Amino acid sequence: MKRGIKLKIAISSDHGGNNLRKEIKDLLDELGYSYEDFGPKDSTSVDYPDYAQPVSSGVAAGKFDKGILICGTGIGMSIAANKVKGIRCALVHDVFSAKATRCHNDSNIIAMGERVIGPGLAREIVKTWLETDFEGGRHERRVEKITEIEQQN
């Protein structure tokens, strides 16, 4: 698992996730991760799929190792991200799930809602998610089965 500055992260939000995106970028800076910010640049109302797409496509194409998506609830972003082949986006609002979705699902994008959790918890969630490795083993088989479903549809 690549860690620290070797891990390349893509991040975006919609207008509902702007403040939390700034907070998480501060966290990434503090932890030494490199990232690309796909916006939006200001608080004008935007459509979350437009911002989920570049992050998701970038991760699916291997340009980025992981992605972080934030909207008001995290739900719209997670639904949009999971439409992109190769993406396993987890909507997470607690630290246990952040760890579990890396260990068990090998999630490559995390989605969160700024209107759901505060910045302190969001920071803990992202830190845990970034630092937790996929367990493999029986979980590898299950993730492969997700990929098979994706390829059949």
Among the listed ranges 68-76, 83-91, 93-101, 103-111, the one in contact with ligand RB5 (CB under 6 A) is 68-76
- Please report whether residue 48 would count as binding ligand RB5 according to CB under 6 A: yes
Catalytic residues: 71, 104
- Please report whether residue 16 would count as binding ligand RB5 according to CB under 6 A: yes
Q: Are 111 and 12 in contact (CB under 8 A)?
A: no
Among the listed ranges 55-63, 72-80, 93-101, 139-147, the one in contact with ligand RB5 (CB under 6 A) is 72-80
Q: In which residue are the tokens 């609002």 written? A: 93
How far is the CA of 146 from the CAs of 35, 54, 56, 58, 149, in angstroms?
Answer: 27, 22, 17, 20, 5
Q: Are 64 and 9 in contact (CB under 8 A)?
A: yes
**Nearer to ligand RB5 (CB atom), residue 7 or residue 81:** 81
**Nearer to ligand RB5 (CB atom), residue 56 or residue 73:** 73
Single residue of 58, 68, 76, 87 touching ligand RB5 by CB under 6 A: 76
Among the listed ranges 55-63, 71-79, 103-111, 121-129, the one in contact with ligand RB5 (CB under 6 A) is 71-79
Cα–Cα dist 104/2, whole Å = 18
Cα–Cα dist 84/57, whole Å = 7
- Please report whether residue 51 would count as binding ligand RB5 according to CB under 6 A: no
Reference 71, options 9, 10, 12, 124; nearest CA is: 12
Binding positions for ligand RB5, rule: CB under 6 A:
14, 16, 48, 71-73, 75-76
